[in-house]
Structure 1
């Protein structure tokens, strides 16, 4: 691969950077973020927020997020963490609360550094963190209030043993697998315990 076409070095931005047209400032990166990312209840942005919350708990929120890595978070301890999110409430009008489902599908892998894919279809993490935005009152929903979240932590090997080809899992089925359930303050401890169990 030509060095000119290798991976970009992405540096963390502050939000104060200007958007320029013919040398004149027409907006800012922070304005763009506010425009694009303020709806934290939609499935896409809630999922990114969930990844950040887990990374924050695991002291892995430095640098920048890698969009297409084979796992969501790589910790300083070299734990590989997959993060999934779900919620009862959505941004759109609802006639009832949403059914809680988490994706657990195996997948092929893609290496962001080399731009190559692996054809092996499997779960590549050591542990899954299922992030449940459990709040059920739409008028007071605030995904930034971590008291509105519950986290379920499970070694990946448990999913491989009990749900080898399953693509999604309901909250009730997940609970039957006996994950560690915690609030944000206990999340790191739960991941440490699950990673230890997963390699035992």
Structure 2
């Protein structure tokens, strides 16, 4: 019988089985994932998909994702990355496309490694990657299609300098900040370049 040690963040295969009275059941972890994670347009899941896409691009998928950490990703070079996502289409019925906006609020970040929260409200990452799922045709939209995503990258330093304590930013205001605009293939270099410029 497979043992899943509680508290250890080990990547799962999906073949792990549920256990009842110390015996494995036929119910697998993959079935739970299929049940709970198949609505890819769901706001929360779309955000996690965006994080995964950016993590793959910057080679930051060796560790299991940490929920609620002060920033979303850390690159092998040590850059802290915050990932934000938005989309025109949602999983529910819409009368019109959603207005594109991203959260940029500062926060008293929590460090998962130390279990310590910051005493001041700041933007903890070095760089922000704003991910826009740009497809507007409901019959075509697919968050797994990397061609449907556009990425806008800014250093946190620029965001702090130009937007201060502002909590959200719309797409037009974001574009006025002259972010690096990238597709998936350019994302890793764009993240590094945003911090260097």
TM-score (norm 2): 0.94
Q: How does 1:6-45 map to 2 (within 5 A)?
A: 8-22=7-21, 23-45=23-45
Write the distance in 2 (CA, Å) between the matches of 1:74 and 1:24. 36
Query: Which has the larger displacement, 94-103 or 182-191?
Result: 182-191
Any idea what SS the aligned residue of 1:67 has? coil
**Matched residue, 1:82:** 82
Any idea what SS the aligned residue of 1:147 has? helix
Give 5+ residue unaligned stretches, structure 2.
1-5
Moved over 4 A (4+): none
Write the distance in 2 (CA, Å) between the matches of 1:19 and 1:138. 36
- What is the root-mean-square deviation in Å for CA atoms of aligned residues? 1.2
Any idea what SS the aligned residue of 2:154 has? strand
| Structure 1 residue 24 displacement after superposition | 3.9
Write the distance in 2 (CA, Å) between the matches of 1:52 and 1:86. 15
TM-score (norm 1): 0.92
Write the distance in 1 (CA, Å) between the matches of 2:128 and 2:54. 11
Write the distance in 2 (CA, Å) between the matches of 1:115 and 1:80. 18
Deviations 1:132-157 (A, max 9, x none): 00000001111000000000001111
Deviations 1:98-141 (A, max 9, x none): 00010000000112123221121011111100000000000111
Count residues in correspondence.
Answer: 191
